[in-house]
């Protein structure tokens, strides 16, 4: 029999098994028997200023790498502070393992300090909740968490460790390799389904392809673009699908979100067949299911997603890349090519729409404060290929709809949970995961106010993240919605005083500058890159331009 290890040491052994490089969290008395043995491994413990920052960092890591991001919090209030970040990871399909801690088993239910019924709290906000009440279950629980987090539709798993299990109980570590307990699904639709899907495509001349995050997860971008060319079909993406195809792809009609665009909606609704690939067709993507696609062919790896919100003509269950490749082979063998009339119609409408949107005072790059489209016009000039663009919820994210991102941009946003306070933590996780990539965090002053402390975390870690703060001194999106729905001057609880965020950032170890005209963006980014340090570019935004009811 080998050496007996306490439960906390076993947790760390299995983390090493996963290839874990960083754990994000806020420590507490219950966590010490895990955080202490981390010091004897290559795994770094990055402590954030709030547990939500740790959860969002783990979420960013998961979206960036496809491997579960790891976060940690003590019992009760520490654990419940993770909930919002965990919810975001669940709704946007990001693999995560959240380690939370309980008091001792004999004291359960007695009203011990910080006591909380974690099972009741977490079960509805994660893929699986796993309580660990005996040391003999530690290794299984950790491996189960890894397997569940990565398999099927990725998501967060919560492992709840009782204090006596990790402190005083002991067991032998039996090593395993991740490939022994986590097998990647490599499924493809059967030949009959492939033939039915191909026949349905050939039966229609006006076809639109609507892609989501699943295309990114499956690595199916090349196949989607080839299918678009073969069928002469415009491509629309969801917000989570931004980056699934190159935004400069000639057949790309644009993203569809609850705020636009008109062209994307037209492409979907005027098509007589819509191919949905890797999208669960959530409320955000479909204007709460008001969009009306016809003759849907739906590709998904999860069977319950197919036909959930819209009836399908053909449901194609399996890996999107492999399934679309088989359909392409089928169409190519028959020498089939689509009719370009519908594609040309949509692209002509896109051209006219672009001229309309990119006109007037909203595009004035010399105006102050900065109009939102002018900001994104200048931003397009400075973004680098292969970069990471992390966007927070709220108004700043709504306008990114218009940005044409460079090749191989990784775009992420808290789309389906809409959790504000995402961008700083997620950018931290992305930069820790991929230090060679440029990471930009775009957020508003509302979100920054919720997560200001983690500027210090980024400064302490000396991570050269560019923080693009869009400041309109308000919860801007809610202010606009109130004005739209309630009338002029009928808004409350949304305005903030003029705060010197740049001075606060400098105190917390982040340098920066203020941009009052969009044309100053290139020089601001030049300064940020030359600094080689965390850097905040604060943009004084004109919040009078509204995205309600639809800006685009």
Interval 532-543: pLDDT, tens: 999 999 999 999
State the architecture of 358-540 in CATH terms.
Answer: 3-Layer(aba) Sandwich (3.40)
Q: Are 515 and 523 in contact (CB under 8 A)?
A: no
pLDDT tens digits, 344-383: 999 999 999 999 999 999 999 999 999 999 999 999 999 9
pLDDT of residue 183: 87
CA 291 to chain centre: 23
pTM confidence score:
0.96
Residue 551's pLDDT is 64
pLDDT in tens, 39-63: 999 999 999 999 999 999 999 999 9
Residue 245: C-alpha distances to residues 104, 281, 351, 406 (Å): 50, 18, 19, 11
Averaged over 109-127, what is the pLDDT?
93
Dist CA 511 CA 467 (whole Å): 10
Q: Are the C-beta atoms of 343 and 233 separated by less than 8 Å?
A: yes
Domain boundaries, the chain: 4-180, 191-348, 358-540
State how far the Cα of 461 lies from the Cα of 428, in Å rounded to an integer.
Answer: 9
Structure tokens at 425: 């933590």
**Tokens 């920066």 correspond to what residue?**
512
Q: How far apart are CA 96 and CA 89, in angstroms?
A: 7
What percent of the chain clears pLDDT 90, i.e. is strictly above it? 88
Convert the pLDDT of each residue in 391-400 to its tens digit.
999 888 889 9
- Strands 207-211, 235-237: pairing is parallel
Of 246, 322, 256, which Cα lies nearest the Cα of 293? 256
Residue 147 has φ and ψ, to the nearest 5°, of -65, -45
pLDDT value of position 112: 86
Cα–Cα distances (Å) from 377 to 246, 249, 257, 393, 535, in that order, read 18, 18, 20, 20, 21
Residue 151, classed as helix, strand or coil, is coil
Assigned CATH topology for domain 191-348 = Rossmann fold (3.40.50)
Q: Each residue of 186-232: pLDDT tens digit?
A: 788 899 999 999 999 999 999 999 999 999 999 999 999 999 999 99
DSSP, res 154: -
Q: Average per-residue pLDDT in the chain? A: 95
Report the chain's C-alpha Rg in angstroms.
24
* pLDDT at residue 1, rounded to an integer: 62
pLDDT digits 0-9 by tens, 491-524: 899 999 999 999 999 999 999 999 999 999 999 9
**Contact between residue 241 and residue 255 where contact means Cβ atoms under 8 Å apart:** yes
pLDDT at 550 over 80: no
**What is the side-by-side order of every strand in the sheet holding 235-237?**
252-255, 235-237, 207-211, 273-277, 296-300, 312-317
Q: Give exposure, 285-318, as e/b (b: 16+ Cβ within 10 Å).
A: bbeeeebebbbbbbbbbeeebbeebbebbbbbbb
Beta strands in 235-376 (DSSP E): 235-237, 252-255, 273-277, 296-300, 312-317
**Does the pLDDT at position 477 exceed 70?**
yes
CATH architecture group of domain 4-180: 3-Layer(aba) Sandwich (3.40)
**Phi and psi dihedrals of 134, rounded to 5?**
-150, 145
Of 420, 431, 421, the C-alpha closest to 24 is 431
Q: What does the pLDDT read at residue 494?
A: 92
- The partner residues of 541 in beta bridges, in order of sequence, read 370
d(CA 545, CA 548): 9
The H or E element that residue 302 is part of is: none
């Amino acid at each position: 029999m080998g050496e007996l290890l306490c439960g906390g040491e076993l947790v760390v052994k299995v983390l090493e098994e996963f290839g874990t490089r960083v754990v994000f969290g806020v420590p507490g008395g219950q966590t010490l028997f895990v955080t202490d043995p981390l010091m004897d491994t290559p795994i770094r413990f990055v402590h954030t200023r709030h547990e939500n920052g740790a959860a969002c960092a783990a979420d960013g890591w998961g979206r960036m790498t496809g491997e579960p991001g790891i976060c940690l919090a003590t019992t009760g209030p520490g654990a419940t502070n993770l909930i919002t970040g965990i919810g975001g990871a669940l709704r946007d399909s990001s693999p995560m393992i959240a380690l939370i801690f309980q008091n001792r088993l004999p004291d359960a239910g007695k009203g011990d300090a910080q006591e909380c019924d974690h099972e009741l709290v977490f079960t509805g906000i994660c893929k699986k909740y796993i309580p660990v009440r005996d040391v003999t279950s530690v290794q299984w629980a950790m491996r189960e968490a890894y397997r569940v987090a990565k398999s099927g539709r990725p998501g967060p798993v919560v492992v709840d460790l009782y204090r006596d299990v990790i402190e005083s109980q002991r067991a032998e570590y039996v090593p395993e390799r991740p490939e022994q307990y986590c097998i990647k699904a490599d499924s493809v639709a059967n030949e009959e389904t492939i033939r039915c899907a191909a026949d349905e495509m050939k039966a229609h001349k006006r076809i639109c392809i609507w892609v989501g995050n699943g295309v990114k997860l499956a690595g199916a971008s090349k196949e989607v673009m080839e299918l678009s060319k073969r069928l002469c079909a415009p491509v629309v993406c969801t917000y989570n699908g931004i980056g699934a195809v190159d935004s400069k792809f000639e057949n790309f009609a644009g993203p569809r979100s609850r705020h636009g665009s008109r062209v994307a909606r037209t492409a979907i609704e005027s098509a007589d067949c819509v191919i949905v690939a890797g999208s669960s067709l959530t409320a955000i993507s479909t204007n709460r299911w008001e969009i009306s696609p016809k003759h849907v062919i739906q590709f998904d790896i999860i069977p319950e997603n197919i036909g959930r919100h819209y009836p399908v003509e053909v449901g194609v269950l399996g890996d999107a890349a492999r399934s679309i490749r088989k359909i392409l082979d089928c169409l190519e063998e028959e020498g089939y090519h689509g009719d370009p009339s519908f594609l040309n119609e949509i692209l002509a409408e896109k051209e006219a729409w672009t001229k309309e949107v990119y006109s007037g005072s909203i595009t004035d790059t010399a105006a102050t404060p900065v109009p939102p489209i002018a900001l994104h016009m200048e931003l397009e000039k400075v973004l680098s290929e292969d970069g990471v663009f992390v966007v927070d919820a709220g108004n700043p994210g709504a306008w990114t709809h218009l940005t044409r991102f460079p090749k191989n941009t990784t775009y992420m946003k808290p789309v389906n949970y809409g959790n504000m306070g995402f961008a700083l933590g997620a950018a931290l996780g992305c930069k820790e995961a991929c230090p060679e990539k440029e990471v930009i965090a775009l957020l508003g002053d509302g979100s920054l106010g919720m997560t200001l402390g983690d500027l210090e975390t980024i400064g302490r870690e000396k991570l050269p993240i560019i923080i693009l703060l869009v400041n309109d001194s308000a919860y801007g999106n809610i202010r606009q919605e109130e004005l739209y729905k309630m009338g002029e001057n009928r808004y409350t609880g949304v305005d903030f005083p003029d705060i010197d965020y740049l001075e606060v950032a400098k105190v917390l170890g982040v340098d920066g500058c203020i941009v009052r005209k969009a044309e100053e963006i290139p020089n601001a980014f030049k300064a940020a890159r030359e600094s080689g340090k965390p850097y905040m570019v604060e943009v004084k935004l004109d919040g009078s331009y509204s995205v309600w009811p639809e800006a685009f």
